[in-house]
Amino acid sequence: MKQVLPLIRIQLMEFFPFSAVKNTDDAAAKKRARRRLTSTLVIFLACVYMSGTYSMGMLKGGLDSSTYLLVPALMLMAGSVLGAVTTLTKAGTVLFSASSLDPLLSLPLSRRTVVLSRVFSLYFEEFLIQAGMLLTAGVCCQIVIGSLPTAFWPVLILTVFLAPLIPLGVGGLIGLFVNMLTARMKNKSLFTTVFSMLFLLAVMFLSFNAGTLFTDMADIAGSLQTRIFSLYPPTRLFVEGLAGNLGSFLLYAAISLILLALLCLAAVKGFAFFYGAINATASSKTFRMGRQKRSGLLLTLCKKELRQKYNTPIWAMNTDMGTLMAVILTVALIVAGKAPVVEVLEEVFGRGQQAGLLFGLIIASAQCLSLSASAAVSMEGKGLWLIKSLPIQADTWLRSKLLVSMLPPALGGLVCGVALTVGWQLPFWNVFVIMGLSLLVAWAFSVVELAIGLHFARFDWENPAEVVKQGGGVMLSMLVTLVFLGGGVALFIFLGPLGAAVLCVLLLLVALPVRLLLRKNAEKNLTNL
């Protein structure tokens, strides 16, 4: 343990590089340290913002003194599911990547020491997310409900430290074997992306259980509780612990520690096995000129962007999650049936007769929570010089990033539009309305996120997670997107179809000038990167 602590301290200094900001005289190093510190802070604040928005909405929207514990339970479930998916995609590379592990193995340190320190690196990132979500949910419960059980705050604070362990153990163990099985595949990153998406698809399908999605509004808390407890059973123990059941909380803590111990045991005892398997390379690679076909410059750049995106699992997972969620939501809506949906809308909004338009707006918006454009510029990394050296116009390069960012929402809008129109037996023009809304929202958000990404571009990263999950530009883009989404739903609630029209006009008024500026200053922006 004495050897582990210095390595953990180094890991913490990477998240909070106060020493580098204070003591270094190198301007570039100081800039990188400030950027890293800002990214860590932005991750935490983004989680606080999202948790606060959803928690206050649920507490003000129907949960009372008998059901308010579902708020921290939902935040625990959401953070744990995202943590499991994230850990699955990166566990193998973080724990056994040869490029970053070999220098540590050359030191007089045991394998157990090195592995435990790298497990902490996975743990701490998930800890920040859980801390932001759970503590904010607790504060919201304190403000709205007032009188809380004596055990509420002690259990909640302890859970902040325990919450990352179950997703870390489950996602880490699955991720090790996925990385091991795909190591010798030529497109191993693409296979990991597909597997992660299927895993997330299954989780979201369970979360949108059609049998409990739309029920009597008087029992909405019971339906929510059933769904949370079914999707993530440890939340039941957590809720019972918040209510004062010490035995349930101790069982939750024991399960968490056991799963963490299993991950550490597998990584330490199977070190040579996993290290050799995960760092293996494809058995053969061939290159044939006959396979290379001539295509337009824009299409070539789009293909390059798509390959890079889907060979970076953490990037693809974070940016296509909204489209997957929209598809699962559409399936749940169809199975639930139009009549129950309309009844709920009439009770909540008084606008049930406009169900098609409202859910078209929700589907269009849900797909744009985090588009690939926000990180697209930074993801060029240290290979940006190649783009600068090619005889291409800078605006063509930017257009390729916009098109790739819009592709998943466009396909999702088409699939969801056709499915809802057929499933609900709506007029055929609803297909074009839903797909048109998806295209417009995706274009507007992609333009804004690309502009933010250009302004906050960084190319000195070693791991894509530094850009995709920790980049200040990505987090700012998400916050801007959430504000627009909330405004769009509010406009519809108060203005109906006119609200949807107002939202479209506002999106154009914001995004069109930004796009014109990007085109005008494209060469200058590329030169200054």
Give the model confidence (pLDDT) of 241-267 as tens digits.
Answer: 998 899 999 999 999 999 999 988 888
Q: Is the alpha carbon torsion for 184, 187, 190, 191 positive or negative?
A: negative
Residue 159 inside a domain? The answer is yes
| 133/294: higher pLDDT | 133
Same domain, yes or no: 365 and 514: yes
The predicted model gives 493-506 an average pLDDT of 76
Tokens coding 331: 């399936």
Residue 199 sits in the same domain as residue 135: yes
Q: Indicate whether 174 and 220 sit together in one domain.
A: yes
The confidence score (pLDDT) of residue 402 equals 92
For the stretch 327-383, pLDDT in tens is: 877 877 777 666 666 666 656 555 555 666 777 777 887 787 778 888 888 888 888
Q: What's the chain's average pLDDT?
A: 78
Query: Which tokens belong to 504?
Result: 């479209």
**Within a domain: 86:** yes
Of 274-278, 360-364, 394-398, the range with the highest mean pLDDT is 394-398
Say which residue, 42 or 439, is predicted with more confidence: 439
| Whether 314 and 252 share a structural domain | no
Provide the b/e sequence for 292-309 (b: ≥16 CB within 10 Å).
eeeeeeeeebbeebbebb
Per residue in 73-92, pLDDT (tens digit) is 888 988 888 788 778 777 87
Over range 498-517, report the average pLDDT.
Answer: 85
Tokens encoding 156: 């909640």
Please state the rounded mean pLDDT for residues 498-520.
Answer: 86
Do 326 and 201 reside in the same domain of the chain? Answer: no
**Do both 379 and 487 map to the same domain?**
yes
Residues 315/324, Cβ–Cβ less than 8 Å: no
Judge if 244 and 334 occupy the same domain: no
The predicted pLDDT at position 61 comes to 66
How many structural domains does the chain have?
2
Domain finish residue from 227, 253, 282: 282
Same domain, 255 and 333: no
Q: Helical H runs in 337-463? A: 338-348, 355-366, 373-376, 384-389, 394-423, 429-455
Q: Which of 253, 282, 311 is the last residue of a domain?
A: 282
Tell which of 282, 306, 340 closes a domain. 282
* Highest mean pLDDT (candidates 6-10, 278-282, 302-306): 302-306
Question: Both 257 and 400 in a single domain?
Answer: no
Whether residue 342 sits in one domain with residue 364: yes
Say if residue 180's pLDDT is above 80: no
Q: What pLDDT shows up at residue 435?
A: 87
Per-residue pLDDT at 18:
78
Q: Which residues contact 297 (CB under 8 A, 6 or more apart)?
A: 392, 396
Does some domain include residue 198? yes
Taking residues 51-60, report their average pLDDT: 80
**pLDDT tens profile 211-245:** 444 444 344 455 566 667 777 888 889 999 998 89
Q: What is the pLDDT of residue 190?
A: 61
Q: What does the pLDDT read at residue 161? A: 94
Percent of the chain at pLDDT exceeding 90 = 11
Q: Is residue 70 part of a domain?
A: yes
Residue 1's pLDDT is what? 57
pLDDT at residue 287 tops 50: no
Instruction: With cut-offs at 50, 70 and 90, classify the pLDDT of residue 200.
Output: low
The answer to whether residue 2 sits within a structural domain is no
Domain limits at 401? 296-529
Pairs from 188-192 (Cβ < 8 Å, separation ≥ 24): 188/282, 189/310, 189/311, 189/312, 189/313, 190/310, 190/311, 192/89, 192/313
Q: How confident is the model at residue 210 (pLDDT cuts 50, 70, 90)?
A: very low
Say whether both 414 and 277 belong to one domain. Answer: no
State how far Cα 140 lies from the chain centre: 23
Q: Please tell me the distance from the alpha carbon of residue 40 to that of residue 471, in angstroms, as a whole number.
A: 9
CB 33 within 8 A of CB 24: yes
Q: 212 with 277, same domain?
A: yes
Q: Of 257 and 15, which is predicted with more confidence? A: 257
| Residue 26 within any structural domain of the chain | no
